[in-house]
């Protein structure tokens, strides 16, 4: 039982350590806080838009370049320190504040 608890604790610690966050300012004035969890097929990004309390979680989507997260209506595509946010078919360029 101790071994199982130790393994669960280690997994939670590693998963938490893999989460990365960044803040973005977009050309249309949108400010976003992004928290990226576990890259790969199960990766996600939680986007919190300025003025909203509830984050939006998007699953990672296939991409030939950069990290792409999409749910069909919203897409957040990062490449280096830049990103593109697309909502309702309208795209805006974003840059990290860091």
CATH of the domain at 44: 2.40.128.200
What is the DSSP-derived secondary structure letter of residue 55? -
Kindly state whether residue 39 falls inside one of the protein's structural domains. Answer: yes
Which uninterrupted H or E stretch holds 48? strand 44-49
The sign of the CA dihedral 55, 59, 60, 63 is negative
Regarding predicted confidence, which is higher, 93 or 72? 93
Kindly state whether residue 80 falls inside one of the protein's structural domains. Answer: yes
Average pLDDT value for the chain: 83
Kindly state whether residue 33 falls inside one of the protein's structural domains. Answer: yes
What's the predicted TM-score (pTM) here? 0.76
Share of the chain above pLDDT 70, in %: 77
Q: Which domain holds residue 51?
A: 19-96
């Amino acid at each position: 039982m101790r071994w199982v608890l130790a393994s669960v604790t280690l997994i939670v610690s590693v998963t938490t350590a893999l989460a990365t966050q960044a803040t973005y300012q977009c050309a249309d004035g949108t400010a976003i806080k992004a928290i990226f969890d576990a890259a790969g097929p199960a990766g996600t990004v939680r986007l919190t838009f300025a003025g909203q309390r509830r984050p939006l979680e998007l699953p990672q989507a296939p991409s030939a370049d950069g990290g792409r997260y999409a749910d069909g209506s919203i897409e957040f595509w990062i490449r280096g320190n830049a990103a593109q946010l697309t909502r309702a078919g309208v795209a805006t360029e974003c840059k990290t504040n860091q």
